[in-house]
């Protein structure tokens, strides 16, 4: 079975794919200090607690944090006796082209999202991912990643307000009843929630205008449902988009022959 690891700047998600479906998914905070042995203790404990009987034979990693890859490689080697595929490395082929400025290291999560989006929805897509950053990935008609937009993440923006202003508390995102807040928390939630609705609308409208063609907007990440339920901003949203992309890339590398 495949162990797929999606390592973001805030959280790292491990999922086990049996070839047809994900049989388990676990989340931990991303920490550069965590060793292979620590990962394994955590993983094997969860597997036995939830009676997940999986023989891990393959591993694929997408990491936006370069420093954690070393220890994940050791995990693969020491405990699963396999050499992991690492998205973005030359020996991990992608089923899509990447058309960006020379020397640009596109975040692997964005490439994986583009692969997943193209696999599920076809070309001419905007994939919006609400993670540490809010990213917009533009997928061309033929599935190529052709660039996008990086905005601060929703939780990051709330955190920045709290850290920079002595009188502003830590608050969680939610949709306020009214746009005009009558207390501090409601004012902050309104600024972030409706501010992001505006960001999403404006960025997607400008991408569509710039590319002069109809495009589907697909959202993923923890906060996608909150925005979708409130404002119908997306054509669809998918919880496990990044994980799906990892399985597609794994299968592609397993089954295709690629010229060097
Ligand atoms: N209604 C909500 N309010 C606040 N946080 C939420 C809500 N719904 C989901 N979340 C949070 O969203 C997060 C899931 O987001 P996701 O995995 O897409 O990105 P992340 O882990 O925050 O960022 P990254 O992938 O960059 O590390 C979880 O931390 C979850 O607690
Ligand atoms: C933008 C983030 C932080 C989103 O996770 C990640 O994709 C990243 O570190 N990207 C590198 C720069 C780029 O994608 O162009
Ligand atoms: K993510």
Q: What is the value of ipTM here, to two decimals?
A: 0.91
| CATH (residue range 2-86) | 3.30.420.40
What integer pLDDT is reported at residue 259 of this predicted model?
A: 55
Ligand that lies nearest to the alpha carbon of residue 222, given by its number in the listed order: 1
Span 199-207, average pLDDT: 98
Asked whether the beta carbons of 193 and 176 are under 8 A apart, the reply is: yes
- H-type alpha helices, the chain: 36-49, 69-80, 108-121, 154-164, 184-211, 224-231, 241-255
Q: Where are the domains of the chain?
A: 2-86, 108-244
Domain 2-86 matches domain 108-244 at the CATH topology level: yes
pLDDT of residue 80: 98
Of 207, 179, 201, 203, nearest in space to 192 by CA: 179
Q: If pLDDT is split at 50, 70 and 90, which confidence band does 256 have? A: confident
pLDDT at position 212 is 97
pLDDT tens-place string over residues 58-76:
999 999 999 999 999 999 9
Would you say the CB of residue 223 lies under 6 angstroms from ligand 1?
Answer: yes
**Rounded distance between C-alpha atoms, residue 79 and residue 110, angstroms:** 28
Query: With respect to CATH, is domain 108-244 assigned 3.30.420.40?
Result: yes
Where residue 7 falls among pLDDT bands split at 50, 70, 90? very high
Instruction: Check residue 84 and report its DSSP letter.
Output: P
**For a substitution probing ligand 1, which of 128, 223, 238, 239 has the most ligand atoms within 8 Å of its CB?**
223
Distance from C-alpha of 115 to C-alpha of 4, rounded to nearest angstrom: 15
Distance from Cα 22 to the centre of ligand 2, integer Å: 25
Mean pLDDT, range 149-169, rounded to an integer: 97
CB 133 near ligand 2, within 6 Å: yes
In this predicted structure, the answer to whether residue 15 has a pLDDT above a threshold of 60 is yes
Q: What is the DSSP pairing of strand 125-130 with strand 216-220?
A: parallel
């Amino acid at each position: 079975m495949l162990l797929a690891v999606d390592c973001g700047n805030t959280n790292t998600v491990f999922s086990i794919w049996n070839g047809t479906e994900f049989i388990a998914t676990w989340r931990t905070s991303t920490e550069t200090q965590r060793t292979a042995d620590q990962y394994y203790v955590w993983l094997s404990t969860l597997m036995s607690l939830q009676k997940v009987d999986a023989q891990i034979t393959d591993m694929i990693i997408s990491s936006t944090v370069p420093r954690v890859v070393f220890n994940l490689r050791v995990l693969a080697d020491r405990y699963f006796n396999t050499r992991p595929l690492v998205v973005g490395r030359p020996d991990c082929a992608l089923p899509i082209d990447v058309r960006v400025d020379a020397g640009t290291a596109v975040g692997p999560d964005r490439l994986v999202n583009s692969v997943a989006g193209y696999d599920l929805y076809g070309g001419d897509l905007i994939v919006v991912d609400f993670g540490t950053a809010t990213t917009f990935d533009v997928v061309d008609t033929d599935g190529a990643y052709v660039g996008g937009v990086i905005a601060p993440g929703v939780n990051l923006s709330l955190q920045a307000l709290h850290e920079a202003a002595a009188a502003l508390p830590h608050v969680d995102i939610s949709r306020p009843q009214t746009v005009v807040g009558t207390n501090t928390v409601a004012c902050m939630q309104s600024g972030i929630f409706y501010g992001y609705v505006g960001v999403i609308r404006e960025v997607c409208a400008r991408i569509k205008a710039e590319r002069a063609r109809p495009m589907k907007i697909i959202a993923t990440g923890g906060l996608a449902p909150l925005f979708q339920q409130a404002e119908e901003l997306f054509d669809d949203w998918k919880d496990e988009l990044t994980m799906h992309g990892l399985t597609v890339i794994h299968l592609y590398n397993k089954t295709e022959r690629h010229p060097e």
